[in-house]
Amino acid sequence: MRKKVTKAIFPVAGLGTRFLPATKSVPKEIMTLVDRPLIQYAIDEARAAGIKEFIFVTSRGKGALEDYFDTAPQLEAELRKKGKEDLLEILKNTNMDSGAIAYIRQHKAMGLGHAVWCARRLIGHEPFAVILPDDVIAAEKPCLQQMVEAYEETGGNIVASMEVSPDKASSYGILDIKEDMGSMVAVRGMVEKPAKGTEPSNLAVIGRYILTPRVLSNLNKMKVGAGGEIQLTDAIAAEIEAERPVYGYRFRGQRFDCGSKAGFLQATVSFALAREDLRDELAAFLHTVTAEQKAAQ
């Protein structure tokens, strides 16, 4: 029997420079899409996939993130007194079971691979998920749940992937495809941020992974890769070299790159338009501003 995936690492120790000055004092993961912080979307997705242990790799200045998952007795008492049951219900989602959440510090932003490696002792010898909260995925069935179901069939290492245009490939880890089986592809190699024109395919890795603990052993070697950082992609690629299976998984859903301003704004509009309480007002506003823009051109 394959071991179930019950642990997830959330690397949130990056500097978030693309959102300065906001990220000078607000962790990027606390920034809100409509009324929920990015991290809440990630946690909800992990819960839907059966994750029971949530491991955050944090850094200096991420205190707001830890507070977010705490109970807020004063606030809750006040809401109870006012009979605001709906708001109390919303808050419930932000509370984690005692012992279900752990925080590990990455003392220096040395790259995503290094951040994941920092959590190695909490993972032990089990398969685990990695979720990058910057990547928000709107999907009927949450993306990680789709991947866990695929993992139950195949085992191995699975990375979420999606087609990107050639001019964007150099911003991603790109898969070299051995065999395309539709929603799954067997991977022959992986290249982090390939130089323009050298990408082996247009299938890019995005921020959801199911990995075997061997990837953590590969990270022990701490090889510095693209951009002078310790890359998770390199540690996964080492599994392929050792002839252990790595798959790309074409998830069903729409991914928003909330680590970039344009992606964050697109996600905000898209999630707001999906909300009954906001849809009509926002759609009317968008209609007006686009008409005004067109007229001004």
Enumerate binding residues for ligand UTP (CB under 6 A): 11-18, 57, 106, 109-112, 114-115, 132-134, 259
Minimum distance from CB of 82 to ligand UTP (Å)?
36
Looking at beta carbons only, is 17 or 74 nearer to ligand UTP? 17
Six-digit token string for 142: 């949450």
Residue 105 or 178: which CB sits closer to ligand UTP? 105
Closest residue to ligand UTP, judged by C-beta, is: 14
Nearer to ligand UTP, 36 or 84 (CB): 36
Which residue has 């032990």 as its token pair? 124
End-to-end CA separation in angstroms for the chain: 63
> Which CB sits closer to ligand UTP, 111 or 194?
111
Hey, what are 193's tokens?
A: 């941020």
Task: Return the half-sphere exposure (C-beta side, CA atoms, 13 A cut-off) of residue 135.
Answer: 23
State residue 98 phi and psi, 5-degree precision: -60, 130
Please count the residues of the chain. 297
Could you tell me the smallest distance in angstroms from the CB atom of residue 9 to ligand UTP?
Answer: 9
Residue 260 C-beta: closest distance to ligand UTP, Å: 8
Nearest distance in Å: CB 106, ligand UTP = 5
Give the residue with the Cβ less far from ligand UTP, 256 or 272. Answer: 256
Choice between 173 and 259, CB closer to ligand UTP: 259
Question: CB of 52: closest distance to ligand UTP in angstroms?
Answer: 21
Comparison of 115 and 162: residue with beta carbon closer to ligand UTP: 115
Q: How far is the CB of 162 from ligand UTP (least distance, A)?
A: 16
Q: How far is the CB of 80 from ligand UTP (least distance, A)?
A: 35
Q: According to the 3-state scheme, what is the secondary structure of the chain?
A: CCCCCCEEEEECCCCCHHHCCHHHCCCHHHCEECCEEHHHHHHHHHHHCCCCEEEEEECCCCHHHHHHCCCCHHHHHHHHHCCCHHHHHHHHCCCCCCCCEEEEECCCCCCHHHHHHCCHHHHCCCCEEEECCCEEEECCCCHHHHHHHHHHHHCCEEEEEEECCHHHHHHCEEEEEEEECCCEEEEEEEEECCCCCCCCCCEEEEEEEEECCHHHHHHCCCCECHHHCECHHHHHHHHHHCCCCEEEEECCCEEEECCCHHHHHHHHHHHHHCCHHHHHHHHHHHHHHHHHHHHHC
Choose between 61 and 200: whose C-beta lies nearer to ligand UTP.
Answer: 61
| Nearest approach, Cβ of residue 219 and ligand UTP (Å) | 12
